Structure formats: C-alpha cells, structure tokens
Amino acid sequence: MTNDGEQQTHWTLDRRIPVGLLVGLLVQTGVFLFWIGALSSQVQQNTAELKLKQADASRIAVTETQINSLTTSINRLNSTMDRLIQRAPSTRQGD
C-alpha cells in the first residue's frame, strides 16, 4: 500500500476508532468466551448423563430378556399342569 509515496511497513491503529467500539468488541469477546466455557461444561455433563442412561438401557435390555425367558418357562409349566390335570382321574372328596 502506498500513502503519498511512502510505503507502510506495519499495521497501525487509527485514532479515529471510537473507544466505545473497542470496549464493545472486548466485552463481546469476553462474553463469547464465557458462553463457550459454559457450553463446554454442559456438553460434558450431557455426555456423563448419556453414559449413565446407556448403562441403564443395557440393564433394561437384560431384564427384558430375563422376563421373556421366565414368561416362556411359566407358559410351559402351565401347559404341563393343564395336561396333567386332564389326565388325572377325577376323584371325589368324601367318598
């Protein structure tokens, strides 16, 4: 860049930039950094909760499998008892 025949070798801050603009940019930057920190904390918390819920989900899946197995066993037992009751000779009480 040239300015009246002179070449600028480094960047300079123009004095016409209002102080309020600089303060505003600094405040915005600080708030942004604070917000990013809070967001990171929330992400870590959500990750921890998700791990707990995944562990709970696997325990629930195991419990459901066990319940299904027990239900099948109970149905077989009921079926066996029904067949045994049908085969048993009818007896009278009190004879």
76 lies in some domain: yes
Q: What is the pTM of this model?
A: 0.46
* Structural domain total, the chain: 1
Instruction: Give per-residue pLDDT as tens, 32-50.
Output: 999 999 999 999 999 999 9
Listed in order, strand segments (DSSP E) in the chain are 2-3, 6-7
What values do phi and psi take at 30, rounded to 5?
A: -65, -45
User: Is residue 51 in a domain?
Assistant: yes
- Which residues span the domain enclosing 44? 22-85
pLDDT tens string 48-87? 999 999 989 999 999 999 999 999 999 999 999 999 999 8
Report if residue 36 sits inside a domain: yes
Residue 2 lies in a domain: no
